[in-house]
Amino acid sequence: MKTKTHIISVSNQKGGVGKTTTAINLGTSLAAIGKEVLLIDLDPQGNASTGLGISVEERRYTTYEVILGAKKIEEITKNTKVPNLKIAPSNTNLSSADIDLTGDRKRVLKLKEALKESYTNNFDYILIDCPPALNILTVNAFAASSSVLVPLQAEFLPWRVYRN
Ligand SMILES: Nc1ncnc2c1ncn2[C@@H]1O[C@H](COP(=O)(O)OP(=O)(O)O)[C@@H](O)[C@H]1O
Ligand SMILES: [Mg+2]
């Protein structure tokens, strides 16, 4: 059993800023130095799952079932080709979680509850790859994690003041 599991959300409301790339590469780097790592794919696009070689057919049960409380995280977690790096995959089913959880008073704590399982103590690091949004999935990730990593690229914003 690990003394402390670090849970880190990788998040930015904007898409294409390197969230998934950071999650995969950071996860692989930590695994390479001997840490036990779980990457949770919380983006319905499932790019982290695809990037780590999990085919669509292998994603019968995903983080969608975990968020809804229908499956435990250990039941959906897959090994990757990277030793010490596991993934909880996602697919497009996850895009309906926002609506499915509408009436649930504990809807922002679903992932936090799911990670209370003793199984998660096996990991040194849990990285959560968030969707490009500030929605219920992202709030679930923030509520479950102790820190947030925000990849971004500073870009020039062209603007103009219009006068009558
Ligand atoms: N540090 C980087 N430098 C250059 N390109 C990058 C970097 N990180 C990611 N990319 C590229 O940017 C694109 C979007 O990255 P991705 O990780 O999918 O972003 P997000 O998960 O935020 O949508 C991909 O084509 C990826 O290869
Ligand atoms: Mg992504």
In sequence order, what are the beta bridge partners of 9?
Answer: 128, 148
Contacts of 156 (CB under 8 A, 6+ apart): none
Sheet holding 125-129, edge to edge: 78-79, 85-88, 37-41, 125-129, 6-10, 147-149
- Quick one: pLDDT at residue 163? 76
Q: Is the Cα dihedral 105, 107, 120, 69 positive or negative? A: positive
Ordered domains of the chain (ranges, CATH): 6-149 (3.40.50.300)
For ligand 2, the distance from its centroid to the CA atom of residue 151, given in whole angstroms, is 11
Tens of pLDDT along the chain (164 residues) come to: 467 999 999 999 999 999 999 999 999 999 999 999 999 999 999 999 999 999 999 999 999 999 999 999 999 999 999 999 999 999 999 999 999 999 999 999 999 999 999 899 999 999 999 999 999 999 999 999 999 999 998 888 888 877 77
Question: Using CB atoms within 10 A of its CB, is residue 34 exposed (0-12), middle (13-18) or buried (19+)?
Answer: exposed
Q: What is the model's pLDDT at position 23?
A: 98
Name the pTM for this structure.
Answer: 0.94
19 lines ligand 1 (CB under 6 A): yes
Query: Percentage helix, strand, coil, to 5, in the chain?
Result: 40, 15, 45
| Ligand 1 nearest atom to the CA of residue 17, by list position | 22
Element of type H or E holding 136: helix 136-144
